[in-house]
Amino acid sequence: MGFWKAFCTCAGCAVGLACIALTGGAATPLVTAAVIGIGGFAGHGVGHKIEQEEKKTKNQEQTIANQTKSIDNLTKGNEKLQNQETKENQKLEELDDRIENRDKEIEEVTKKTKDSSLSEEDRRKAKSRLKILLEEQENDKKERNSIINTIKQIKEQIANNNKSITSIGSSSSKKDKKDLWEFITLENILIVVAIYALWQIVRDSNRR
């Protein structure tokens, strides 16, 4: 038996004895035993309820601590993702500039490959240069697609993290709201009935 159960049971019995004392000792042994028993039962129920509430409070505190930790981790994760997104966007911007500049060079070199005023050697060099430029351009465009895909994944991860943060916060606020039906339990009803029965027994004894 926990501390509060033992304490409240003893207190309930003491209350029962006090009620008997108020009758001036007129209560019969059966009534006395019934009053003490009901008082002890009511006290035991109150103690059990207190211990349940203490356990519930501790569990809620632990749940809140876990939720807070989860939200902090998700928030820090988003900060890292946002920094990564910034870096990827910078890389994409630099890559776009390089692709744009190379497009201009490809256009110029392509003209040289078809320029009849140039020697065969110059046109051959232009064709060789054009081949290199086209390969570089293809590789950069592949890299560009990869960066765009990475940025998309980062954005999706940030959005998912934000949903999780909102969900955790929402579930936490719902738990804080107590419904009336939480208090209408069999245990509480029995405690009330026991107290009422105790009062009835003492009242009947006084009438006698």
Taking the CA atoms of 202, 203, 205 and 206 in sequence, report the sign of the dihedral they define: positive
More confident: 155 or 24? 155
* Lowest-confidence pick of 14-18, 117-121, 197-201, 204-208: 14-18
pTM, full prediction: 0.57
- The Cα–Cα gap between 58 and 175 comes to 14
Per-residue pLDDT band at 16 (split at 50, 70, 90): very low
pLDDT at 170: 76
More confident: 1 or 169? 169
- The Cα–Cα gap between 189 and 205 comes to 24
pLDDT at 190: 52
Q: Which residue's structure tokens are 């569990």?
A: 59
- The Cα–Cα gap between 125 and 116 comes to 14
Q: Which residue's structure tokens are 């209560």?
A: 27
DSSP reduced 3-state for 63: helix
Read off the pLDDT of residues 114-144 as tens digits, 9 standing for 90 and up. 999 999 999 999 999 999 999 999 999 999 9
Read off the pLDDT of residues 27-55 as tens digits, 9 standing for 90 and up. 444 444 444 555 555 555 565 666 677 77
Q: Which residue's structure tokens are 């211990």?
A: 51
Can you read off the two tokens belonging to residue 80? 């890292």
pLDDT at 161: 93
DSSP 119: -
Task: Say yes or no to pLDDT of 100 above 80.
Answer: yes
DSSP 26: -
pLDDT at 205: 53
Residues in the chain: 208
pLDDT at 200: 57
Q: If you average pLDDT over residues 51-72, what whole number do you get?
A: 79
Task: Say yes or no to pLDDT of 103 above 60.
Answer: yes
Please report the DSSP string for 172-190 in residue order.
HHHHHSPPGGGT--HHHHH
- The Cα–Cα gap between 193 and 188 comes to 9
Is the CB of residue 169 less than 8 Å from the CB of residue 138? no
- The Cα–Cα gap between 43 and 32 comes to 16
